[in-house]
Amino acid sequence: MNENIGHGHVFPRPDGVKARCGGPAICMECAGDQARKAKASDLVHSEAFVQMFLGYLSGAIPELGKYPPARLLGVWECFKGEMQKR
């Protein structure tokens, strides 16, 4: 799959190219990317999503039930960091 898609202003492209479109302020594609990124960021920072994620982890990997929630939050912080890079 070619990862060099999009205009590169909101979601950086691996090849570093940015389209000469004016970015999110005047380009509809970039504005759409910015809206999707903001929506994903809001979701990742919501308390309900954190609880859902931790519940999913505990259900998907039963061994995680023996770890205290604080330790699972470390896993969450790693996941959140990866999501913010996208």
Domain residue ranges in the chain? 23-85
Which residues 6+ apart lie within 8 Å of 35 measured at CB? none
CA dist list (Å): 20 to 7, 28, 30, 42: 8, 13, 11, 28
Angle formed at CA 83 by CA 37 and CA 59, multiple of 5 degrees:
125
pLDDT score, position 18: 93
State pLDDT tens for residues 9-25: 988 999 999 999 988 88
pLDDT at 40 over 60: yes
State pLDDT tens for residues 62-77: 777 677 766 767 776 7
Mean pLDDT across 15-41: 86
pTM of the predicted model as reported, rounded to 2 decimal places: 0.48
